[in-house]
Structure 1
Amino acid sequence: MQSPTSTATKPPARAKNRWAKLVWIVPAALVLLVALVLAARWLRELPSVQSFLTDYPGESHLPATAPVGFPAWLAWQHFMNSFLILLIIRSGWLVRTRSKAPAQWTRKNQGLIKTKGSPVKISLDLWFHLSLDALWVLNGIIFFILIFATGQWMRLVPTSWDVFPNALSAALQYASLDWPVENGWVSYNSLQLLAYFTTVFIAAPLALVTGLRMSGAWPKNAEKLNKLYPIEAARAIHLPVMLYFVAFILVHVTLVMATGALRNLNHMYGVQDGDSWVGFWFFAGSLVTMVLAWTLARPLFLRPVASLTGSVTKN
């Protein structure tokens, strides 16, 4: 006969099944990856595909007036965007998954979120998420102004239709592990260009408009507007957009490290084209800053900051 203690500590069957499914994800992913590489290498042996790769090497030509290299402000923008998006993803995931908020925040001046009756309260996690969103939007506005003022937009926006076959060519080269020649200081390959364009001009605005729809700043009494843009639609889009950012970051960091780490880090952080360690040390400092911010982003440290703009109460 089993004791009550032994039955109480026995994990439920449902939890076991969930972990059993997760265990198979890694070997299944490895098998798919190997199959993809083999298929890509087989395709590259076909004469028609070799001809296609010759006609479309993987990079579209930029306009003659496109700038070369990266200015210092773009390196700073890259760091700020990475810093904010990391914490936005973390706080957004906590908002979605935490069953009990560590504290509630009430704005001192209700302003746009004022409603009839008692003041609106939101969780401390949601306050942090929305505060980060506001900083991210401000950073994004500065970014958009500067890229169009300096011509850097030409490195991010497709200007000819051959970007699509060239992107397919670059994808095939990546998949076969015989990667396209990288020269990001001058221009991105077409697959990178489309990925950056999607991130900057599609995913980021979608994150903004869906997040705004779910926030307290959205007008609750605008019946026609709310019917045209229901909150359920915003929720259905917001999470996939977050997952897109996670996937983009993972692939982006992997390729940065695998296609000439020192040179790539110099482009993004050192504002120079070369293989020195300058960009690496700036990158290392940014990682330390992110880890420190991730560690401090907890109720103990968030409460006093949140109390500067509202009242914070425990549940």
Structure 2
Amino acid sequence: MTSPRPRTPWPRALAYLLGAAGLLVLAAAGVAAVRVVASLEPVADFLRAYPGDSTLPDFVTPGIPAWVSWTHFLNAFFLVLIIRSGLRVRNEKVAGGLWSSKRVKKRRMSLALWGHIAVDVLWLVNGVVFVVLLFASGHWARIVPTSADVFPNALSALIQYASFDWPTHDGWTNYNALQQLSYFAIVFLAAPLAAITGFRLSAFWPRQSERLSALFPERIAKALHWPTMLFFVAFVVVHVGLVLTTGMLRNLNTMYAGNDGDGWLGFGIFALSVVALVVGWFAIRKDAWIAAFARRFGEVRLRK
């Protein structure tokens, strides 16, 4: 008796291709529709009145300081590890290893969760360093709105992006209004929300405090934590896409090489950072690698 033939993957692949084609058609239709709307006289007048710029105070100087470049890279590196370890925690059925606190014996968790929390802490430390330097240097005004006209200008920039008639981009001098609001939301809204909800879901939450737990129920933290991560993923995809399509070399030099030129130094540093991100993505999957660090803070048992 012959064994049954394996099922062909072609129907599924074809469905994916048709789905992708459908999304492209919808996207093209959306761009065409926005272009029509943008050509209407009232909308055209609005775009002329609000070209999409953000207003900066006089004390803000052009350029990207070196500490911004370093914290930007570390933020991306830790964020990749957080996303990968978070997916492990969400999908892991059987823990590959367990970590137990030496001080609080009842505090234990999977190695995947310990790795996720450990990277969270590093990400938060990097974020605190960034925010302190941000306000100490005056660089804060690049991502914190200082004028109410940021909102109509952000809407204008959004219309321009959606119509593929993109606003002028000059990250060396200042961000446009939509970028400013997006970066503000990431740094001062999404990041704290991710930290607070993550802490609520962790083993470090003071569960003996019934009042605190009642004020911030676990179900609310769960309902917010995952969508917040998805927001970060969506932001990264759009952010990187625009960096690469709105003057790639100049953008990468601005962020990584500390200059406003169009040479290849920034691209080279960016390429090395991508290698580091890939290595980190695969490293955080290995319990043995996590255990090497986790043993410094508690007891570790690996499953054989």
Short-chain TM bin: over 0.9
For the 8 Å contact 2:51–2:153, the answer to whether it is kept is yes
The one of 34, 58, 73 aligned to 1:40? 34
Partner of 2:109, secondary structure, is: strand
Q: Say yes or no: does 1:58 pair with 2:52.
A: yes
Distance (whole Å) between structure 2 residues aligned to residue 25 and residue 184 of structure 1: 35
Which aligned pairs between 1:9-48 and structure 2 lie closer than 5 A?
24-48=18-42
Which aligned pairs between 1:221-236 and structure 2 lie closer than 5 A?
221-236=208-223
Distance (whole Å) between structure 2 residues aligned to residue 102 and residue 21 of structure 1: 35
The code of the aligned residue for 1:55 comes to A
In structure 2, what is the equivalent of residue 257 of structure 1?
Answer: 244
In structure 1, what is the equivalent of residue 88 of structure 2?
Answer: 94
Distance (whole Å) between structure 2 residues aligned to residue 195 and residue 264 of structure 1: 17
Q: Can you give the 5+ residue segments of structure 1 that lack an aligned partner in the other structure?
A: 111-117
Distance (whole Å) between structure 2 residues aligned to residue 302 and residue 61 of structure 1: 45
Distance (whole Å) between structure 2 residues aligned to residue 21 and residue 152 of structure 1: 48
The one of 223, 234, 239 aligned to 1:247? 234
The code of the aligned residue for 1:257 comes to L
In structure 1, what is the equivalent of residue 128 of structure 2?
Answer: 141
In structure 2, what is the equivalent of residue 276 of structure 1?
Answer: 263
In structure 2, what is the equivalent of residue 193 of structure 1?
Answer: 180
Partner of 1:292, secondary structure, is: helix
In structure 2, what is the equivalent of residue 74 of structure 1?
Answer: 68
Distance (whole Å) between structure 1 residues aligned to residue 95 and residue 22 of structure 2: 37
Distance (whole Å) between structure 1 residues aligned to residue 228 and residue 96 of structure 2: 26
CA-CA distance at 1:225 after TM superposition: 1.3
Percent sequence identity is 46
CA-CA distance at 1:20 after TM superposition: 8.1
The one of 181, 184, 195 aligned to 2:168? 181
The code of the aligned residue for 1:84 comes to F
For the 8 Å contact 2:108–2:203, the answer to whether it is kept is no
Distance (whole Å) between structure 2 residues aligned to residue 127 and residue 23 of structure 1: 38
Q: Say yes or no: does 1:169 pair with 2:156.
A: yes
The code of the aligned residue for 1:201 comes to F
Distance (whole Å) between structure 2 residues aligned to residue 19 and residue 238 of structure 1: 32
Distance (whole Å) between structure 2 residues aligned to residue 238 and residue 184 of structure 1: 31
Q: Say yes or no: does 1:125 pair with 2:112.
A: yes
For the 8 Å contact 2:47–2:156, the answer to whether it is kept is yes
Distance (whole Å) between structure 1 residues aligned to residue 226 and residue 11 of structure 2: 25
Task: Answer with 233-242 or 218-227: which moved more.
Answer: 218-227
CA-CA distance at 1:149 after TM superposition: 0.3
Distance (whole Å) between structure 1 residues aligned to residue 298 and residue 29 of structure 2: 55
CA-CA distance at 1:294 after TM superposition: 1.9
In structure 1, what is the equivalent of residue 301 of structure 2?
Answer: 313
Partner of 2:39, secondary structure, is: coil
In structure 2, what is the equivalent of residue 286 of structure 1?
Answer: 273
Q: Say yes or no: does 1:203 pair with 2:223.
A: no
Aligned length: 302
Displaced runs of 4 or more, over 6 A: 15-21
Distance (whole Å) between structure 1 residues aligned to residue 200 and residue 158 of structure 2: 35
Distance (whole Å) between structure 2 residues aligned to residue 19 and residue 124 of structure 1: 35
1:310/1:269 Cα in 2 relative to 1: closer, same or farther (>3 Å)?
Answer: same
The code of the aligned residue for 1:253 comes to V
Partner of 2:299, secondary structure, is: strand
CA offsets 1:259-309 (integer angstroms, 9 cap, x no match): 001110011111111111111111111111111222222123222222222
Distance (whole Å) between structure 2 residues aligned to residue 198 and residue 266 of structure 1: 24
CA-CA distance at 1:18 after TM superposition: 8.6
1:6/1:120 Cα in 2 relative to 1: closer, same or farther (>3 Å)?
Answer: farther
Distance (whole Å) between structure 2 residues aligned to residue 314 and residue 19 of structure 1: 38
Q: Can you give the 5+ residue segments of structure 2 that lack an aligned partner in the other structure?
A: none
TM score, norm. by length of structure 1 = 0.90
In structure 2, what is the equivalent of residue 115 of structure 1?
Answer: none
Distance (whole Å) between structure 2 residues aligned to residue 142 and residue 270 of structure 1: 20
